[in-house]
Amino acid sequence: MVNNMPLDDADRCGRIRDNGALLAEGADARLKAIEVEVLAARRRAGIELALPRLYSTLDGVQNNYRRNCFELTQVMIDFQEALTKAYIHLGLMETQEERLSNMANDFMLRVVGTQDASLEIIGQLEALADDLKLMLKT
């Protein structure tokens, strides 16, 4: 690649070849570093674009969760009231009424436990979003 190599001076020709090889290796290493920087910048830009959408989606999920919890709580209250009113017409003994009430309460507690598990997932997603936001600052 080098024109006019001093072929009559073997020492100088060797140094030029060695320096040319070092330059080529340095250029190749820099090119790879630039490619890594470009890839990192693209990833960063992608995260920056996705983060607001992620927070918006999390807000929607939380609002939906709160609405569902409120509605489900109202359904459970309505169920307990209807069950209590039905006791009058069913002619059940007090122990039978208590047993049915306890069963209903147990199922309602399980429903609340399921809601709590959903809330934990929302918290984990928020933590993930915060971690991504932190990564952008570094």
CA 6 vs CA 3, 14, 20, 109: distances in Å: 9, 10, 14, 90
Give residue-wise pLDDT tens across range 86-135.
Answer: 988 888 899 999 999 999 999 988 888 888 888 888 888 899 999 988 88
Euclidean distance between CA atoms 47 and 3, whole angstroms: 49
120 contacts 126 by C-beta, under 8 angstroms: no
The whole-number pLDDT of residue 73 equals 87
Q: Say whether pLDDT at 14 is over 80.
A: yes
Give residue-wise pLDDT tens across range 38-70.
Answer: 999 999 999 999 999 999 999 998 899 889 989
CA-based Rg of the chain, rounded to a whole angstrom?
35
Give residue-wise pLDDT tens across range 80-93.
Answer: 999 989 988 888 89
The whole-number pLDDT of residue 1 equals 64
Distance from chain centroid for Cα 22: 45
The percentage of residues in the chain with a pLDDT greater than 70, rounded to a whole number, is 98
Euclidean distance between CA atoms 109 and 101, whole angstroms: 12
Q: Say whether pLDDT at 2 is over 80.
A: no
Give this prediction's pTM: 0.60
- Residue whose pair of structure tokens reads 């569902």 in the numeric block: 68
The whole-number pLDDT of residue 31 equals 97
Token pair of 122 as six digits:
């929302």
